[in-house]
Chains A and B, each alone.
Chain A
Amino acid sequence: MKGEEALAIIVSLAAAALLAVVAVGQGLVPVASTDLTPLARFYLLNVYNGSSQLWGASPEVITSILWDYRGLDTVYETAVFFLAIIATLTLFRDAKLLPETAGAGRGMTVIVKTVTRITFVTIPIIAASIALHGHLTPGGGFQGGAAFGVAPLLLITAFSLRLAAERGWSKGKLLTVRTAGLLAIGLIAVSTPYVIAALGGKAGIGYVMQNQPKAWADVGWPYAITYAGMRVLFSGTLLFLNLAELFAVSAGLALVFTVIAMPTEVLEKGGGVRK
């Protein structure tokens, strides 16, 4: 038996060593090509290049594409997302979130609940970080909002919808936050000439979703402030759009999760559907 054990250990260690050699030596997967496409070259050369007329004032290429170069596209995507949420709500337009109709409220075991208490507050702070740094590092408003959406989902699953109802969640409150976020995006989209005028610059004609000045539309948001010798880059509209999108997406997802977690009879009654 001892000999067999020793053999098993030797074979296992040899397999592990072989795997390590393969993984470190040549890799198990092909690496992406280092040749850039012309489009990638354009974005990388212009996005954070202050001397370029086509810069986005942000080192984060993806966020610049989403909210600046193709900003209108993102506004429409956001609109589509919110139409889907509105459609969901229309189906259950009269379903009310009340503690007495939100289930028994037993939830899962004390272990799951206790861990969920902690994650329920830490997920939103991570979401805030993802959104507030969206113009500097990978992330942004939608990503932050999607991360945030896990928090209400966890609370509803671990504790049941009843706790959410007892803590004062309501469709009205969530709808208000969501609508405020959406409204802010709309206002920022057309704001550029007015912001310049308000800051004492010369008025001009700007485009919808314009972030930085262009040769043919010479208005743009300020992109950084210097205070007490410290320069803070906020990339013009990008930070504010990310923040607005964070609130809109967070509240929108929380709203949908809340509605679809309601007991069937509440939904049937609220939807006005006869059995």
Chain B
Amino acid sequence: MSKAGSAFAVFLFLLGIYLVYTGTANPVDVIAGGVAAAVIAALSADLVVRKPGKVFDPRRWVAFIVYAVKYLTVIEARAHLDVIRRILSPSLPVDPAIVRVPYAVSDDYAITTIANSITNTPGTVVVDIDTERKYMYVHWIDAKATEDEEARAHVSEEFESYAKLIFEG
């Protein structure tokens, strides 16, 4: 059952992408896109979704939307303004370092969400990841802390709490 559920989740996702990319939603495109999406989902859905129950869980979607809005507006703006201020200041107030940031999630999507959230905000970049010991190595333009847990509080705690709500379990 979980295999069919995975295929259905991926099918809906791909059909949505097809219709958005094509820019029309007339019945012919729904059929053509549906056939293409069904073929791809039947062949490759197991690569993308392993537990389809999570895809159809509304609480995860609420958490996802809240996080997406907050990340793309408040968090991004804050990080951009911080880096803009550093660039424009003639004294160049940077204190770069690579810090070790632990994480406590185990789902691949959750790990990727945290890592990409860190990298996509200006000022921090994930340069490597150790999945066995659960560490990310983060280059930080202004390292306010070098100790593991302190660095985590600054860099990834907020991302991780949302990633847990959206993907973990």
Contacts and interface: CB of A to CB of B under 8 A. Distances in A.
Interface of A: 1, 4-5, 8-9, 12, 109-111, 113-115, 117-118, 120-122, 124-126, 128-129, 132-133, 230, 232
Contact of A1 (B27, B37, B90, B108): B90
19 contacts: A1-B90, A4-B90, A5-B88, A5-B90, A5-B91, A8-B90, A9-B88, A111-B126, A115-B112, A117-B47, A120-B48, A121-B13, A121-B40, A124-B36, A126-B18, A129-B21, A129-B33, A132-B32, A133-B22
Nearest to A168: B43
Interface residues of B, number: 34
A1 B91 contact: yes
Contacts of A133: 22
A273 B26 CA distance: 55
A129 B111 contact: no
Contacts of A125: 14, 17-18, 21, 33, 36-37, 40
A31 B15 CA distance: 38
Interface of B: 10, 13-14, 17-18, 21-22, 26-28, 32-33, 36-37, 40-41, 44-45, 47-48, 88-91, 108-109, 111-112, 115-116, 126, 128-129, 131
Give the interface SS of chain A, mostly helix, strand, loop or mixed: helix
A9 B44 CA distance: 51
A182 to B, nearest CB: 20
A129 B47 contact: no
A98 B70 CA distance: 47
